[in-house]
């Protein structure tokens, strides 16, 4: 039995005979498809079919009780005319546009300097990395507590000690979004630092030695050697973190759970809107599916654009 | 994908080894200032975690005190939260689910990666591209069909229902395929001549040679499943089936004013991964560099 693949396992001696008559090459093919059988079923049933279903559902109306009903582009038209959707659309991009540059610049600065530190290098690196190991939900609650007004919240208590008036954090429409973004940036920073450091270490030392011989300043070395050679790393991190910010959900859901996406929808991202449309109150599955198609399209366009812009330079 | 490709190739080569070596060159006095600023920044980074822990050890009357060290440290919050029984259950659920999905992912991702790398057959490229293409599909788009599927099949509020979408990952398959490239074909040929079958060759010849990649993938998959939120939130209604993040989300809402209890819950959800990190630090950092392209 040793040379017979169990996934294509022959039950009868007839099959067994046939197996022995196959050439080595043919046996390889049988083995390969035998190994791939379960994964192919998985990808078809759990990835491809649901993707197609989401697209189809976006052209239907369905509240989970009646039958699915074709409505053409109605769901998309309704989305287009929905002022809340546009607010959410803007919010989603605000997370991206504020979050990505801040986190990347911070991560680069830390990585650049940490790369040159020898004493307790591992310990300092660990301090920056630890937040990455936490669950976004747990940390959302920790930060939510920090943001509470006096006498509860840590930040406002701290300010009060110096007689500084309270800061509204999650309660004001202008400060709530950045307040939710802060823990997201904080938690992802360690990851980006580690990736930047790996990129920095990959730059050959000889380049810097040559630059020093030529009398280039540290600043010139940074702009003429380090950053250009780090481009692949930068491209990867920009795309990776943009996708992360565009899909923000856990933090918003948990920091605004008494008033989801509030105040006044000022913090609601697309994923939270999708969740509410599909599972909150009366479920409008078709409408929610249309929103997921929009999210998919945004993610695709943003990553393709970024790849193109950052590559060509 | 090609960008990930570049980085992947770089990361899988000597870069990894270099990432572990000491800093490049010694510096002068400015080095001290640099060190101090970095150190203070690092302390600032862990402050939220420190406050979470310190508050979980405080009595209610002391919560609003800014002191880091509780005047009367107590484990009463932990006793209270665990006595309730729910956190035990959630801890168990999260552990079981993250463990099983990790094992399943490691087996299937490496098997598929191995086949796509080491077997020559028609359709290989199409299978590879098809699997890779699923990387572009965001989970949020799939959760609605998954929910409908689970509902129709009676999978809601079951472990299986929470786990099934994560049994294999396209990213891991890609990662493993890249790493199997480093296993020389000669090894496999030799094993074949020795009379091992393909399953045995994969398991006992190829797999041991890509152990670092397996470890990296395991860390990512486990952490990803441990902290996963949106799908477990949708897939469960019964609090007996909640994972820790989902449980914590509902717990926080009902225990609204009792921040010391919420911090205790947050600590229970966070401490296992933090302890794990402190033990396997070096290993995990290397894993992140290696697997650091996951979506």
Tens-digit pLDDT profile for residues B165-174 = 999 999 999 9
What residues contact A298, with CB distance under 8 A and at least 6 apart? Answer: A92, A246, A270
| Residue A5 with chain B: CB contacts under 8 Å | 197-199
pLDDT at A72 over 70: yes
- Record the pTM: 0.88
From the list A171, A134, A174, the residue with the least C-alpha distance to A256 is A171
Task: Name which of A157-161, A244-248, B5-9 the model is least confident about.
Answer: B5-9
B183 at A interface, C-beta within 8 A:
no
Two structure tokens written together for A60:
């239907």
Name which of A9-23, A283-297, B65-79 the model is least confident about.
A9-23
Q: How far is the alpha carbon of A170 from chain B, nearest alpha carbon, in Å?
A: 16
Residue from A145, A146, A230 to probe the interface with B (highest B Cβ count within 10 Å): A145
Q: What is the pLDDT of residues B237-288, one digit of tens each?
A: 998 999 999 999 998 887 667 889 999 999 999 999 999 898 888 888 888 8
Position A152 pLDDT exceeds 90: no
* Pick from A38, A18, A36: nearest CA to A27: A18
> Quick one: pLDDT band at residue A293, thresholds 50, 70, 90?
very high
Tell me the C-alpha distance between B55 and B63, whole Å.
6
A139 touches chain B (CB under 8 A): yes
Q: What residues have CB less than 8 Å from A276, skipping those under 6 apart?
A: A260, A261
Q: Please, where are the H alpha helices in chain A?
A: 13-21, 24-42, 49-57, 74-80, 83-114, 121-129, 136-146, 154-161, 176-201, 205-213, 218-221, 227-229, 231-246, 250-255, 270-279, 285-312
Q: What pLDDT score does B3 carry?
A: 39
Could you tell me if A170 and A283 are in contact, meaning their C-beta atoms sit under 8 angstroms apart? no
Q: In A, which residues are within 8 Å of B248 by CB distance? A: 135, 137-138, 141
Q: Given a cut of 80, is residue B49 above it in pLDDT?
A: yes
Write out residues 247-286 of B within 8 Å (CB-CB) of A: 248-249, 252-253, 256-257, 259, 262-263, 265-267, 269-270, 273-274, 276-278, 281-282, 285
Task: Say if the Cβ atoms of A116 and B31 lie within 8 Å.
Answer: yes
Residues of chain B contacting A195 with CB distance shorter than 8 Å = 288-289, 292
Kindly state the average pLDDT of the residues A70-91: 94
Q: Check A254 against B273: CB less than 8 A apart.
A: no
CB B141 within 8 A of CB A295: yes
| Cβ atoms within 10 Å, residue B14 | 10
Distance CA A107, CA A20 (A): 59
What's the pLDDT band for A157 if we cut at 50, 70, 90? confident
Q: Taking CB atoms and an 8 Å limit, are A141 and B262 in contact across chains?
A: yes
Chain B: nearest CA to A276, how far in angstroms?
11
Q: What is the pLDDT of residue A313?
A: 57
Please report, rounded to a whole number, the percentage of residues in chain B having pLDDT higher than 90. 62
Q: Do A191 and B288 touch (CB under 8 A)?
A: yes
Look at B293 and A240 and tell me if their CB atoms are within 8 Å.
Answer: yes
Comparing alpha-carbon positions, the chain B residue that sits nearest to A46 is: B165
Write out residues 58-87 of A within 8 Å (CB-CB) of B: none
8 A C-beta contact, residue A116 and residue B24: yes
A12: alpha, beta or left, given left = phi > 0 and alpha = psi -120 to 50?
Answer: beta
Per-residue confidence (pLDDT) for residue B292, from 0 to 100: 63
Beta-bridge partners for A61: A69
pLDDT at B23: 53
Classify residue A15 as left (phi > 0), alpha (psi -120 to 50) or beta. Answer: alpha
Distance of residue A147 Cα from the nearest chain B Cα, in angstroms: 12
Whether residues B230 and A275 touch (CB distance < 8 A) is answered with yes
CB distance from B204 to chain A under 8 Å? no
d(CA B88, CA A66): 40
Q: Which of A31, A137, A146 sits opposite B248 (nearest CB)?
A: A137
pLDDT for B64 equals 79
Name the residue among B39, B171, B16 with its Cα closest to residue A199.
B16
Q: Check CB contact of A125 with chain B, cutoff 8 Å.
A: yes
* Torsion over CA: A166, B53, B244, B285 (sign): positive
ipTM of the complex: 0.89
Query: Do A303 and B3 touch, CB atoms closer than 8 A?
Result: no
Asked if A51 and B197 come within 8 Å (Cβ–Cβ), the reply is no
Measured between CB atoms, does A252 come within 8 Å of chain B?
no
Q: Which of B161, B167, B241 is nearest to A47 (CA)?
A: B167
More confident: A40 or B85: A40
Q: Mean of the pLDDT values across residues A255-259?
A: 90
Contact in structure between A68 and A201 (CB atoms under 8 Å) = no
CA dist B262 to A73, A260, B236, Å? Answer: 45, 19, 21
CA A116 to chain centre: 30
Residue among B99, B130, B260, B7 nearest A239 (CA):
B7
The yes-or-no verdict on residue B187 having pLDDT over 70 is yes
Alpha carbon separation from A294 to A284, B51, B165 (Å, rounded): 16, 39, 22
**DSSP assignment of A160-186, as one string?**
HHTTPPP--GGGSTTTHHHHHHHHHHH
- CA torsion sign, A45 to A46 to A47 to A52? positive
Q: Which chain A residues are closer than 8 Å to B255 by Cβ?
A: none
> Does B6 score more than 60 pLDDT?
no
Helix (H) and strand (E) counts in chain A: 16, 2
Q: What is the pLDDT of residue B293?
A: 47
Give the number of beta-carbon pairs within 8 Å between A and B.
301
Mean pLDDT of A33-39: 95
As a whole number, the mean pLDDT across chain A is: 90
Question: How far does chain A reach from its first CA to its final CA, in angstroms?
Answer: 58
pLDDT in tens, B7-22: 444 444 444 445 444 5
Interface of B with A in 212-241 (CB under 8 A): 223, 226-227, 229-230, 234
Least confident of A273-277, B94-98, B284-288: B284-288
Question: Quick one: pLDDT at residue B162?
Answer: 97
Between the alpha carbon of residue A88 and those of residues A184, A299, B268, the distances in Å are 18, 15, 33
- Distance (Å, rounded) from C-alpha B175 to C-alpha B294? 9
Residue-wise DSSP of A217-235: -HHHHIIIIIHHHTHHHHH
Residue A225 contacts B, CB cutoff 8 Å: no
B70 alpha carbon, distance to own chain's centre? 32
Q: Do A127 and B43 touch (CB under 8 A)?
A: yes
User: Taking the CA of residue B224 as centre, how many other CA atoms within 13 Å lie in the half-sphere pointing to its CB?
Assistant: 25
d(CA B31, CA B37): 10
Can you tell me the distance from the alpha carbon of B60 to that of B255, in angstroms, rounded to the nearest whole number?
A: 13
| B45 in A contact zone (CB under 8 Å) | yes
Which tokens in the block code for residue B144? 């609605």
A266 inside 8 A of chain B by CB: no
Q: Max CA-CA distance within chain A?
A: 89
Pick the range with the lowest mean pLDDT from A15-29, A198-212, A238-252, B208-222.
A15-29
Residue B126, judged by CB atoms within 10 A of its CB (0-12, 13-18, 19+), counts as exposed
Query: Over 90: is that where the pLDDT of B5 sits?
Result: no
Question: Using one digit for the tens of pLDDT, what is the confidence trace for A194-208?
Answer: 999 999 988 999 999
**Residue length of chain B:** 295
Q: What distance in Å separates the CA atoms of residue A183 and residue A255, rounded to the nearest whole number?
A: 10
Q: Collapse the DSSP code of A69 into the 3-class scheme (helix H, G, I; strand E, B; otherwise coil) and give the result.
A: strand
CA angle A265, A270, A271 (to 5 degrees): 115
Q: Per-residue pLDDT tens for B149-163?
A: 999 999 999 999 999
Q: What pLDDT was estimated at residue B285? A: 87
Residues 6+ apart with CB under 8 A from B104: B163, B166, B167, B168
Report the residue from B19, B49, B269 with minimal CB separation from A201. Answer: B19
Distance separating alpha carbons of residues B59 and A199, to the nearest angstrom: 46
């Amino acid at each position: 039995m040793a040379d017979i693949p169990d996934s294509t396992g022959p039950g009868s001696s007839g099959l067994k005979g046939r197996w022995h008559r196959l050439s080595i090459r043919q046996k390889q093919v049988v083995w390969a498809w035998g190994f791939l059988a379960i994964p192919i079923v998985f990808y078809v049933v759990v990835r491809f079919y649901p993707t197609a279903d989401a697209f189809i559902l976006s052209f239907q109306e369905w509240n989970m009780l009646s039958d699915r009903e074709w409505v053409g582009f109605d769901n998309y038209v309704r989305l287009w005319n929905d002022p809340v959707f546009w607010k959410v659309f803007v919010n989603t991009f605000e997370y991206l546009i504020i979050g990505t540059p801040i986190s990347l610049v911070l991560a680069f600065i830390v990585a650049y300097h940490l790369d040159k530190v020898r004493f307790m290098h591992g310990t300092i690196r660990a301090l920056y990395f630890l937040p990455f190991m936490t669950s976004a939900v747990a940390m959302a609650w920790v930060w939510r507590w920090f943001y509470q007004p006096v006498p509860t919240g840590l930040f406002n208590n701290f300010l009060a000690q110096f007689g500084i008036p309270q800061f509204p954090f999650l309660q004001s429409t202008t400060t709530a979004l950045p307040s939710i973004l802060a823990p997201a940036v904080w938690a992802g920073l360690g990851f980006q630092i580690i990736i930047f450091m790996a990129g920095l270490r990959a730059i050959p030392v000889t380049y810097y030695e040559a630059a020093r011989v030529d009398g280039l300043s540290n600043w010139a070395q940074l702009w003429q050697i380090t950053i250009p050679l780090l481009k692949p790393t930068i491209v990867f991190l920009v795309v990776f973190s943009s996708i992360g910010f565009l899909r923000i959900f856990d933090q918003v859901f948990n920091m605004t759970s008494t008033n989801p996406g509030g105040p006044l929808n000022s913090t609601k991202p697309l994923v939270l809107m999708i969740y509410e449309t599909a599972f909150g109150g009366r479920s409008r599955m078709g409408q929610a599916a249309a929103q997921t198609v929009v999210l998919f399209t945004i993610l695709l366009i943003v990553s393709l654009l970024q790849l193109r812009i950052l590559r060509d330079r | 994908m090609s960008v990930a490709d570049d980085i992947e190739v770089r990361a899988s080569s000597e870069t990894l080894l270099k990432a572990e070596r000491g800093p490049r060159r010694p510096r002068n006095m400015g080095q001290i200032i640099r060190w101090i600023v970095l150190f203070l920044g690092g302390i600032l980074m862990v402050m939220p975690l420190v406050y979470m822990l310190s508050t979980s050890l405080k009595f209610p009357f002391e919560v609003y005190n800014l002191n880091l060290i509780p005047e009367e440290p107590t484990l009463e919050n932990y006793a209270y939260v665990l006595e309730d029984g729910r956190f035990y259950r959630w801890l168990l659920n999260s552990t079981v689910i993250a463990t099983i999905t990790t094992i399943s992912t490691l087996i299937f991702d490496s098997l598929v990666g191995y086949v796509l790398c080491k077997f020559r057959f028609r359709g290989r490229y199409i299978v590879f591209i098809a699997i890779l293409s699923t990387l572009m599909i965001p989970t949020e788009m799939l959760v609605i069909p998954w929910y409908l599927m689970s509902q129709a099949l009676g999978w809601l509020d079951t472990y299986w229902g929470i786990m099934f979408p994560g049994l294999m990952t396209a990213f891991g398959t890609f990662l493993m395929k890249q790493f199997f490239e480093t296993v020389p074909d000669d090894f496999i040929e030799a094993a074949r001549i020795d009379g091992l079958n393909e399953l045995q060759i994969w398991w006992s010849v190829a797999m041991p040679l890509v152990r670092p990649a397996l470890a990296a993938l395991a860390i990512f998959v486990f952490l990803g499943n441990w902290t996963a939120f949106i799908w477990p939130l949708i897939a469960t209604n019964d609090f007996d089936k909640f994972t820790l993040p989902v449980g914590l989300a509902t717990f926080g809402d009902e225990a609204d004013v009792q921040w010391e209890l919420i911090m205790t819950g947050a600590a229970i959800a966070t401490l296992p991964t933090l302890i794990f990190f402190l033990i396997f630090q070096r290993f995990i950092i290397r894993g992140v560099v290696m697997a650091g392209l996951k979506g």
